[in-house]
A and B are shown apart, each in its own frame.
Chain A
Amino acid sequence: MRYPSSKIVLSIIFTFLLSPAAFAHTGVGLAGGFASGFMHPLMGLDHVSAMVAVGILGAFMGRPAIWVLPIVFPLVMAFGGVLGLAGLPIPGIEIGIALSSVVLGIMIVLPTKPSLWIASIVVAIFAIFHGYAHGAELPSAANPLAYSLGFVVSTGLLHLTGIAIGELIRWPVGKMVARAAGGVIALAGVGFLTGIL
C-alpha cells in the first residue's frame, strides 16, 4: 500500500487553508450552524477544561479508560442534552460544569488512579451538566444539525488534545507537565466556581 507523499498532503491542506469563505448567503459566520457549534465549546473555558481533563484522565488511567471515558462523556452528555431540550429543570447547571473541572483536575493531580467504574460514573454525572447546557442552546441555533456537527468535531478535538497531553506520561518530565495541566484545570474550576474566571 503506497501512502500519499508529504507534498501531496501539504498541497491538499494548503488548498483548504487558502480557500476563501463564501459569503453569498446569510447566516454565515457565528450565526451559521456549524461555525457556532464548532466555536461553542472552544469559546467557553469551562467546557474546554472539562473536555481536555477527560482526555488527560483517560490517558493517565491507560487502557481501556483512554477510550471508554471520551466515549462515555458524549453518550451521557446526549442524555443531558435531551433533558435540556425537554426543559426539565436541573438546578445548579453552571455549578456542576465548574465542579467538573475541579473534580477531574484533582483526579489527574492525585497519584492514585480511580477504578474505571468510579471514573466513568464521575465523568457521566458531569457530562449531564455539560449536555444540559448544549441542549438548552440547541433550539436557538440557525441550523441545529450543523450546530451539533460543529460541537461534535470541536469537542472530539478537545478530547484528543487531552489524550495527547496525557500521553506525555511516557516521559518523567511529561508526567509532571500532565499533572500540572490537571492542577491548572482544577484551579480554573475554582475560578469558575468563585466567578473570577
Chain B
Amino acid sequence: MRALWFALTPSLILGLLLTRLISLPQSDYYLLAASVFIGSIIALRPPRLPLSILIFAALLVGLFIGLASTAPSLPGMKTHQMAEHLVAVALGSGLMLVSAQVIAYFLNKPWQGLAVRILGAWITAGASMVLALMLLVPLSPLKP
C-alpha cells in the first residue's frame, strides 16, 4: 500500500506541473482505461500479480489525473490562483484515495471482501461501457 502511495503522489504532482507545458487531449479515455484495468485487478485479484505492475498503474493514474486537471485560464486569473487550483486538485485526489483505502481497509471480513470484488467488477463494467460510448459515439463527450 505504501509503495503505491510513493508512486502515485510524485506522478500526480508531476502531472499537475506538466499541465503548464502540455495538455493531454481526451484525458477521459486514459482515465477510463485505467479504471477498467484497476477494476479488473480488484475483481479478479490475481494471486501472483507482481507489485511492479501495480506501481506502474499507480504511476500512470497519478500522471493522468494530474494532466487532466488543467487550471482554467480565465481572464484576470492570477498565477497564485492557478497554483491554488493545482494544490486543491492534489489534496482532493489524495483525500478521495484515502477515503477509498479506509473503506477497503475496514472491509476485511470474508463477505466484505466479496463486496469489494463485486465493486471492482462493476467499476470495470461501468468504465468500459462509458469508454465504449465515447469511442462509438464521439459526438457525445462526457458532460460536466
- Flag if B124 contacts A74 (CB, 8 Å): yes
Q: How does the 8 Å CB contact mask read for A47-81 relative to B, with 1 for contact and 0 for none?
A: 00000000000000000001100110111011001
Contact present for A85 and B129 (CB under 8 Å): yes
* Chain B residues within 8 Å of A93, by CB: none
B126 to chain A, nearest CB (A): 4
Interface of A is mostly: helix
Pair A81/B142 contact, Cβ less than 8 Å: no
With beta carbons under 8 angstroms apart, the residue of B106, B114, B121 that contacts A75 is B121
Secondary structure class of chain B's binding surface, majority of residues? helix
Please indicate which of the listed interface residues B106, B121, B136, B137 has the most CB atoms of chain A within 10 Å of its own CB: B121
A142 within 8 A of B: yes
Are the C-beta atoms of A82 and B129 separated by less than 8 Å? yes
B114 / chain A contacts, CB cutoff of 8 Å: 66-67, 70, 160, 163
Report whether A74 and B121 are in contact in the complex, using a CB–CB cutoff of 8 Å: yes
Count how many chain A residues have C-beta atoms less than 8 Å from C-beta atoms of the other chain. 35
User: How large, as a class, is the contact surface on chain B?
Assistant: 20 to 34
The answer, yes or no, to whether B128 is at the interface (CB within 8 Å) is yes
Q: A143 to B133, alpha carbons, bound, how many Å?
A: 12
Q: Which residue of A has the minimal Cβ distance to B105?
A: A1
Inter-subunit contact B129/A134 (CB<8 Å)? yes
Given known pairs A70-B114, A75-B121, the reply for A81 and B132 (CB within 8 Å) is: yes
Flag if A75 contacts B43 (CB, 8 Å).
yes
Mask: chain B, 25-44; 1 = CB below 8 Å from A; 0 = not: 00000000000000010011
* A-B residue pairs in contact (CB < 8 Å), sample of 17: A66-B114, A71-B121, A75-B121, A75-B124, A78-B125, A81-B132, A85-B137, A131-B129, A135-B129, A138-B133, A144-B130, A144-B143, A145-B142, A148-B125, A148-B126, A152-B126, A156-B115
> Beyond the given A70-B117, A78-B124, could you list 9 further A-B residue pairs with CB under 8 A, ordered by the A residue number?
A71-B43, A75-B43, A77-B125, A135-B129, A143-B143, A149-B126, A152-B123, A153-B122, A160-B115
